[in-house]
Amino acid sequence: MIGELDFFGVFVPSVLPLAILALVISLSLRVVLRRVGFYRLIWHAGLFDTALYLVTLLAFVLATRSVAP
Amino acid sequence: MPPRTPLTVTAKKLAFSCANTAAVLVALYIAFASNLERPYWAMFSVFVIAKPISGAVRSKAMYRLAGTLVGAGMALFLVPPLVQAPVLLCIATSVWVGLCVYGSVLDRTPRSYALILAGYTATIVGFSVVNRPESIFDTAVARVEEIGLGIICGAVAHSLIFPQSVTDELKRRVEAIVTASAQWISEWSSDAGRPVDLLAQQRLATAVTESHLLYSHVRYETSDAPRAHLLMRILEERVAVLLPRISGLQQMLAALSAVEARPVALPTLMATVSRWSQALARQRKLSAATMADESGLQQESTAALALLDRSAGGWLVLLEQAAIVELSELARALGDCRRLAEALEEGKLRLPASLENRARLSGSRALSADHGLALLSGIAATCATLLACVLWIGGSWPEGLVAAQFAAIGASLFATLDNPAEPILPAVTGILVALPFAAFYEFALFPRIDGFASLALVLSPMLLLLSFMQTFERLEGVALVLAIAFSGSLALAPSYQADFAAFANTNAAEIVGLLVAGVAILLLRTVDPLWNARRLSRAGWRSLCQLAHKAPRSFQWWLIQMFDRLGLIATRLVHTRPTSPASADLDPLRDLRVGLGIDALRKLEIPPDRPEARTLGAILEDIATMYEEKLRGHPGRAAADFAEHIDAGITAAWAQVPSAHRQAALAALTSLRLDLLPGEAPHLALWSPT
């Protein structure tokens, strides 16, 4: 995950696209969970949202590391 | 709803200050650890987005990030080709700033912040690299990185450490709006002679616009905040109806007393409404008794109307009938407001059954846009930036670039304010006050400390104090200016470098920049409030003309926009002398009433082949002509045969069989006649009872 990605000549850390992807995914997850009414069970929604994002990001990082070490 | 930890007000404020200080320190730490160029940018970014409501923090964070990206991109686009032609570069950047300010003043929602930032980030990035254009890309990236870092730290800290949900504040405001309206209605209906004063108009309309803006943050709230778009939208429309209804009612009462008539059923009905709204103001939740009273009230008014239907026709009967219709509409709107506030309070977002139909009708809302004012603000921002550039380039003043940047910042940030010149002086004072503190830190403390831990320790008291100041509504602006000036003049950099000449010069340039912005805004944007009110009224008249010509896509949308405008006009008129003749023909409430009347007539849906449809067409045509004449500056000139047309309309409506339709038509026509032909005795033939 230290590696860099060549983005049209600009080097960006490879976590960046993963972080953006994780943001999109966790935002849509949140919409779904809200529709279901899941948040009524949550004590601290801010904490839950942050944790959800971090878990999603970690999942992506681990997944990409196992694909391309 | 999840139970949030209950906190007292002071504890909330302390929690906010701790969260903010923690965010600043974390941002600084990360910035130092990753060797960013200007860690203090991250530092004051935290202060800029800090708001007591966590949803507002996140929305501001998003807009700030987006604006910074666009602005840095614009600098990347402008600087390399124009760096050899400083004059062109200055003009291009200033025009960009002006454009952004124009857009942001038009928008009026929190989103406008993104545009402001897009404007002045271009100057911050663009102007600071003119001497070494090859570093433009690095500077742009550094700016985005540092701002992004500050924003993320602030947003995360404020969402995790004792977040204050926007919903609580929203509920509080909606509750206040409903209670105040119920109170007013109760007072007005018990004392009919009391006029709907400008202050009340202004308060109600501004409160509604504010809660609309507050609601726009909900999208960025943590996921447990209920999404109540529909509810808020209908609530706004229902509140917007209250004021024109009350004032219409009063007008009818005045007309009744002018002919010394003794209305039959109206006084008792008014007393009932007064008692009922008094009860409504006192309870947060509709009790069964109040609900029963409400249906009793509607039945009472139906009975009174039926009685009037059977009586002999005449102007008096028409007036009383219209007044009763108005009164029952008023009571219905107020009851709806209470029901909606209750639904919001309980977090069950299923709409009350009576309102579901309304939800389908309403379109999405936009606040009224004011192109003239936006244009002036844009020009002022462009001029301010250009003027500072002239000082910078013409005076060969190396720190002049800071002046140009601050001119752009000042002109953009203050452009959205109502009296933009007002905060410039406090801002300059803020910089001057922050200076000795910053100098103390820079030249007395920093030489003695080493490492991040000691830096955090010496900074904490100041950061805590500034954050705590931000939690007070009155000190918020001052605290922000102090925080920005403080972090700006500290200019924390990875290695310590004390340079008193640069310190003094930069701060002087900041003040000069702000003063230039102040002068430009004062010259260009100080407008007579009365003139401004007239301009806004004219915009309202234009939209009324359109309404009379053609049915809009959503009348609710039209109404809410008009109501928003009413708040803006009333704000301007409150400060002028009430009896000044120039403001005599400015009556936004009357315009709203005329709009409601037009809508009521349209709702009748008369088939186009009936003769009544032709009369209706003629009436609407006349109203449009009348407002067109007003726009041309002949307010008194009524359309010649308007009286004839509207009387024909009243006669035709009277001849119908008694029904709710007939009552609505008669009420709308009577109210239009009162509004557009004031003081004119109707030449109506007496009709026999049907």
Q: Residue B253: which CATH number?
A: 1.20.58
Query: In angstroms, rounded to a whole number, what is the distance separating the alpha carbons of residues A43 and B339?
Result: 28
Q: Are B154 and B61 in contact (CB under 8 A)?
A: yes
Average pLDDT over residues B330-355: 77
Mean pLDDT of B618-630: 85
Average of per-residue pLDDT values in chain A:
84
Contact between B160 and A50 using a beta-carbon 8 Å cutoff: yes
* Residues of A in Cβ contact (< 8 Å) with B1: 40
What is the reported pLDDT for B353? 66
Decide if B620 contacts B598 (C-beta within 8 A).
Answer: yes
For B427-472, how does the pLDDT look when each residue is reduced to its tens digit (9 = 90+)? 788 888 888 888 888 888 888 888 888 888 888 988 898 888 888 8
For B445-456, b/e burial (b = at least 16 CB within 10 A) is: ebeebeeeeebb
Q: How far apart are CA B208 and CA B367, in angstroms?
A: 11
Q: What does DSSP assign to residue B446?
A: G
Q: Which of A22, A5, A11 is nearest to A61 (CA)?
A: A22
User: Is residue B239 domain-shared with residue B300, that is, in the same domain?
Assistant: yes
Letter string b/e over residues B310-341, b meaning 16 or more CB atoms within 10 A of that residue's CB: eeebbbbbbbbbbbbbbbbbbbbbbbbbbbbb
* B6 in contact with A, Cβ within 8 Å: no
Considering only CB atoms, which chain B residues are within 8 Å of A43?
Answer: 2-3
Structure tokens at B224: 């447990």
pLDDT higher than threshold 90 for residue B646: no
How much is the pLDDT for B635?
63
In a domain, residue B512? The reply is yes
Local confidence band at B418 (pLDDT 50, 70, 90 cut-offs): low
What sign has the CA pseudo-torsion B249, B252, B258, B259? Answer: negative
Distance CA B601, CA B616 (A): 8
Contact yes or no for B223 and A45 at CB 8 A: yes
Rounded mean pLDDT of B235-245?
84
* Sign of the CA dihedral running B324, B204, B106, B371: positive
Is there a single domain that holds both residue B176 and residue B318? yes
B418 shares a domain with B296? no
User: Mean pLDDT over residues B20-49, rounded?
Assistant: 88
Whether residue B327 sits in one domain with residue B462: no
In this structure, the answer to whether residues B160 and B174 fall within a common structural domain is no
Q: Residues 36-55, chain A: which have Cβ within 8 Å of B?
A: 39-50
**CA–centroid distance for B465 within its chain:** 30
Identity at B121, one-letter amino acid code: T
Confidence of residue B645 (pLDDT cuts 50, 70, 90): confident
Q: Examine the domain organization and report whether B521 and B540 are in the same domain.
A: no
For residues A14 and A5, give the distance between their C-alpha atoms in angstroms, rounded to a whole number. 5
Q: Provide the number of structural domains found in chain B.
A: 3
pLDDT at B273 over 50: yes
Which tops the pLDDT comparison, B455 or B496? B455
Tell which of B361, B386, B402 closes a domain. Answer: B361
Q: pLDDT value at position B4?
A: 46
- Final residue belonging to a domain, choices B473, B502, B525: B525
Residues of A in contact with B225 (CB under 8 A): 45
According to the model, what pLDDT value does residue B519 have?
Answer: 85
- B686, part of any domain: no
Rounded alpha-carbon distances, angstroms, from residue B511 to B47, B402, B416, B425: 20, 9, 20, 10
In whole angstroms, what is the distance from residue B75 CA to residue B78 CA?
Answer: 5
Q: What average pLDDT does this structure show over A11-31? A: 88
pLDDT value for B313: 66
Contact A40 B224 (CB under 8 A): yes
Task: Identify the residue with better confidence: A69 or B156.
Answer: B156
Please tell me the predicted confidence (pLDDT) of residue B150. 92
Contacts of B384 (CB under 8 A, 6+ apart): B407, B408, B410, B411, B516, B517, B519, B520, B521
More confident residue, B197 or B79: B79
Asked if the Cβ–Cβ distance from B54 to A46 is below 8 Å, we say yes
Residue B666 is assigned to a structural domain of this protein: yes
How far does the CA of residue A31 sit from the closest CA of chain B (Å)? 8
**Spans of all domains in chain A:** 4-67
Task: Count Cβ atoms below 10 Å from residue B291 Cβ, excluding itself.
Answer: 13
Over residues B645-674, mean pLDDT: 82
B167 touches chain A (CB under 8 A): no
Same domain, B74 and B62: yes
User: Which residue in chain A has the smallest CA separation from B156?
Assistant: A50
DSSP helix/strand/coil, B536:
helix
| pLDDT band of B527, cuts 50, 70, 90 | confident
Q: Crossing angle for the helix pair B86-107 and B112-128, nearest 10 degrees?
A: 170
Task: Identify the domain containing residue B559 by its residue range.
Answer: 529-676
Most confident of B95-104, B252-261, B501-510: B95-104
The verdict on residue B684 lying in a domain is no
Token code pair at residue B302: 């139906």
CA R_g for chain B: 30
The distance between the two most distant Cα atoms of chain B, rounded to a whole number of Å, is: 99
Q: How many degrees, rounded to 5, is the angle at CA B79 between CA B73 and CA B83?
A: 175
* Average pLDDT, integer, range B109-138: 87
Q: What is the mean pLDDT of residues B389-414?
A: 86
Q: Which of B1, B3, B160 sits opposite A46 (nearest CB)?
A: B160
CB B541 within 8 A of CB B626: no
pLDDT tens string A23-42: 999 999 988 888 887 887 88
What was the pLDDT predicted at B2? 41
A19 touches chain B (CB under 8 A): no
* pLDDT at position B640: 67
- Whether residue B624 sits in one domain with residue B510: no
Residues B172 and B319 occupy one common structural domain: yes
Smallest CA–CA distance, residue B2 to chain A, in Å, is 5
Residue B68's pLDDT is 93
Residue in the structure block whose two tokens are 């192109």: B371
B509 and B637, same structural domain? no
Least confident segment among A59-63, B42-46, B473-477: B473-477
Q: Which residues contact B324 (CB under 8 A, 6 or more apart)?
A: B265, B266, B269, B301, B304, B305, B308
- pLDDT for B365 equals 57
pLDDT at B328: 87
Residues B184 and B331 in one domain: yes
pLDDT tens digits for range B132-174:
888 888 888 888 999 999 999 999 898 888 887 788 888 888 8
| Residue B376 pLDDT > 90 | no
Distance in angstroms (rounded) separating the CA atoms of residues B133 and B126 = 9
The ipTM estimated for the assembled molecules is 0.79
B400 shares its domain with B439: yes
Q: What pLDDT shows up at residue B688? A: 45
Q: What is the mean pLDDT of chain B?
A: 81
Residue B399 has pLDDT above 70, yes or no: yes
Contacts of A36 in chain B (CB under 8 A): none
Kindly state the average pLDDT of the residues B600-628. Answer: 83
| Mean pLDDT computed over B211-229 | 77
Mean pLDDT lowest among A6-10, B3-7, B313-317, B502-506? B3-7
List pLDDT tens digits, range A48-58.
Answer: 888 999 999 99
Single residue among B361, B378, B408 that ends a domain in this structure: B361
Q: Please give the share of chain B, as a percent, with pLDDT higher than 70.
A: 88
Which is higher by pLDDT, B309 or B148? Answer: B148
B180 or B352: whose pLDDT is higher?
B180
